[in-house]
């Protein structure tokens, strides 16, 4: 990956991971400090929707930047790009599933404990995907090779 691509990719991965990390801090604070659980829940729902869009944008940028390289690219470099893309695609799918499959059940208050658990696990899995993308991008940048 070219130097500017590594930098932009690193920024996108950092934004993705950092915004997910911030949710784990902000949402409990909403429930602890807002006057009602309903207000906290509605505010959290807006944060989760915003996070889904941030995740989608960051992952699409990462996919565009890490698309398969030229045919003469070293095989180990292509494998590294494919591994990175696997983490990014997994994170994108998790974000979309959270927004369009899980969130509607939570908003409708259907089997709330189940859907909150599923949503939390999917958010944690997305956090791991973002961390692995960030780790791979910063690791390759620090080593100075593809």
Helices 75-97 and 112-143, interaxial angle, to 10°? 160
As given in the structure block, the two tokens for residue 77 are 């470099």
What is this structure's pTM?
A: 0.85
Sorted by where each begins, the domain ranges of the chain are: 3-143
Helices 37-65 and 75-97, interaxial angle, to 10°? 150
Residues 132-144 have pLDDT tens digits of 999 998 875 455 5
As given in the structure block, the two tokens for residue 139 are 């690791």
Q: Where are the alpha helices (DSSP H) in 66-145?
A: 75-97, 103-107, 112-143
Residues 11-54 have pLDDT tens digits of 999 999 999 999 999 999 999 999 999 999 999 999 999 999 99
Q: What are phi and psi of 35, to 5 degrees?
A: -70, -25
């Amino acid at each position: 990956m070219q130097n500017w691509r590594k930098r932009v990719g690193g920024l996108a991965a950092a934004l993705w991971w950092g915004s997910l990390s911030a949710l784990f801090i902000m949402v409990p604070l909403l429930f602890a400090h807002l006057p009602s659980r309903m207000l906290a829940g509605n505010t959290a729902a807006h944060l989760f929707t915003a996070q889904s869009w941030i995740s989608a944008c960051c992952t699409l940028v990462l996919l565009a930047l890490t698309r398969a390289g030229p045919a003469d690219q070293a095989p180990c470099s292509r494998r590294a790009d494919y591994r990175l893309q696997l983490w990014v695609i997994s994170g994108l799918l998790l974000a979309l599933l959270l927004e369009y499959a899980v969130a509607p059940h939570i908003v409708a208050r259907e089997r709330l404990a189940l859907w909150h658990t599923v949503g939390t696990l999917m958010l944690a899995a997305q956090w791991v995907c973002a961390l692995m993308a960030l780790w791979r991008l910063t690791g390759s940048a620090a080593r100075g090779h593809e």
